[in-house]
Structure 1
Amino acid sequence: MGHHFVGIPELTGVPRVAVVVDVMRAFTVAAWAFSRGAERIVLASTVGEALALKASRPGWLALKDGAPAPGFDEVNSPGRLRSRDVTGRTLVQKTTAGTVGALAVADAPLVLCASFVVAGPTARFLQAHGREPVTFVVTGEEGRAEEDLACAEYIGHRMAGAAVEAAPYLHRARTSRAAAELAGGLRGGSHPDDVALCLELDRFPFAMVARREESLTVLRPVTVPGARPSPS
């Protein structure tokens, strides 16, 4: 395939095509936000920037990793976000790994943010645009997060067009360190359903593309022809 799989510290230069993977939980949360009606997600580099952006734009909402905190409307949890209506709203997202990885490659000509819930549409989007090879940014644990690497490899194989058995990749994610920490309540702002929600393959029928919009890095959903949401 010729794809590259790198951690954030290993990034050098500007890739031609980057897929930034954060399964647990940034880009699962982002997908849920779009499914709940969000118009766009602005990726913030710091907690202070997230709060400043929210304060300067009436109606914007902010979310971050960890436990609830003053000034933030939500935490980085799909289990918590899935019941919230954010129709037409702009969210500002700051997380420990996912948003950091996306901002690190924000100058690339094409940047997609991905997790298992949009894995198939992401692969189809890349196929349709003839974009190979891809630099997959494995955001967790400095590139060693098993759930992110499994998802990245799965998308890479799906791009080849052949049938791919998803179960082994989902098993790697389900038995990862991140999944164990979430299931054990060791990560702040978690919900009992977070792990299961992060492992819902192709839950949503869109890919997520990050682009520069003025001085901001903005994530938006892009409908992928032929993609169908999985049964809920």
Structure 2
Amino acid sequence: MSIVGMEAEVPPNTVVIVIDVIRAFTTAAIAFERGATEIVCAPSAEVGRNLRLLHPDHLLVGEINGLKPADFDFGNSPFEMSMAQLDGRRLIQTTSNGTRGLVRYPDPAVLLAVSALNVGATARWIRTNHAETACTLVCTGRTAEDQACARYLSGLLQGSRPRRTDLIAGIMEGAAEHVRAYARQSAPERVDLSKDLPICCDVDRSEFAMVGEVRRGPRRANEGATLNAASLPADIRPGWSDGPSGLTLRPPTDGALPKPARRAPAHVTLRTPQVQPVGPTLVPRQAPLVRDLGLCAAVPRPDATGTSSPGTRIGLVGSGEWSGQIWR
């Protein structure tokens, strides 16, 4: 098992785990919680806009230099996403690191997208489905949070019990690096992480792994992939197939993908699971208190309905089951 940067060469036929904690894959996980059914991840804003032309019903999400472009519907902010009403909506996401890194690997045994929110679920999925396959953990950023998440996930995969506090400390250290970098920029170019950081630190909030299937573009074979949110427990369900690129879900035939006459650029598609309660009680998880560095205030305690003010969605644990949309 190796931990590498985004520019490293990754051997084919390995489990490739792409990590972006602040903020791409944290935002993606929150979008799933808010009801999104699909997130198409593009390697650049240009590709994202081209995909939007092909799919005008999709919402465009992401950032350029950390900031939301004027023609995007949402920025790359998990806090902003936590207040969005996305039931049944499809999204296109493009970011500087996470979505760009995800499409670099054309021949994995399986491809996964990870943040602190789904790190434990990802480890369980790998142990269930690819326990004997070599793993490469790719840190898309150069700051401390992705390295901390990679070390934590590596420990889980090796059967140890890494400390959650170490992961949160690494995320805070990475956030401080981001803040110092933004401080050197002019005020309009600075990114405010204060509302996003508590969500980025909410370890194991999401009980699903985001699993990928390489989707090649019309010209360049190494530009894209398709990701799906796999439910836990990660058993093989009807409609799944164990193909040459690992356990994957197959694309739907309902017209969601572009027709051959108008092929989309290569990209990554994330699909969302749905919560199916099996009992009357769901226990809300309170996000961690994050006070260090003066970056943000403590997350408010959830009320009896499992929501919090001013609107941060709280993950649910306890009596619940995730079941994903099956691709046939």
Q: TM-score range by the shorter chain?
A: 0.7 to 0.9
Q: Percent identity?
A: 30
Which consecutive unaligned segments of at least 5 residues does structure 1 have? Answer: none
Distance 1:127 1:229 in 2: 27
2:55 is matched with: 57
The yes-or-no answer on 1:156 pairing with 2:154 is yes
Aligned-partner residue type, residue 207 of structure 1: A
Alignment map for 1:1-232 (pairs within 5 Å): 3-65=1-63, 66-129=66-129, 130-141=131-142, 145-176=143-174, 178-182=175-179, 190-213=192-215, 215=217, 217-225=225-233, 231-232=285-286
2:265 is matched with: none
CA drift of 1:127 comes to 0.7
Q: 1:225 to 1:194 in 2, by over 3 A?
A: same
Distance 1:91 1:229 in 2: 29
CA drift of 1:36 comes to 0.9
Which consecutive unaligned segments of at least 5 residues does structure 2 have? Answer: 184-188, 218-223, 235-281, 287-328
Aligned-partner residue type, residue 223 of structure 1: S
Q: Which has the larger radius of gyration?
A: 2
Higher relative contact order (CA 8 A, sep 6+): 1
SS in structure 2 opposite 1:9?
coil
CA drift of 1:179 comes to 4.1
TM-score norm. by structure 1 comes to 0.87
Is the CA contact (8 Å cut-off) linking 1:41 and 1:218 kept in structure 2?
A: no
Is the CA contact (8 Å cut-off) linking 1:79 and 1:194 kept in structure 2?
A: yes
Distance 1:190 1:93 in 2: 19
Q: Deviations over 1:164-221 (max 9, x none)?
A: 3211122122122x34535997575545221111010101111111223574533321
Distance 1:40 1:101 in 2: 19
CA drift of 1:13 comes to 4.3
Q: Runs of at least 4 residues of structure 1 off by over 4 A?
A: 182-189, 213-216
Structure with bigger helix share is: 1
TM-score norm. by structure 2 comes to 0.63
Distance 1:13 1:229 in 2: 42
SS in structure 1 opposite 2:7?
helix
Q: 1:209 to 1:28 in 2, by over 3 A?
A: same
Is the CA contact (8 Å cut-off) linking 2:43 and 2:101 kept in structure 1?
A: no
Q: 1:149 to 1:229 in 2, by over 3 A?
A: farther
Q: 1:230 to 1:210 in 2, by over 3 A?
A: farther
Is the CA contact (8 Å cut-off) linking 1:203 and 1:230 kept in structure 2?
A: no
| Number of residue pairs matched by the alignment | 225
CA drift of 1:88 comes to 1.8
Distance 2:43 2:100 in 1: 7
CA drift of 1:95 comes to 0.8
Q: Deviations over 1:2-43 (max 9, x none)?
A: x11111111244351100000000110111111111112112
The alignment's C-alpha RMSD in Å is 2.4
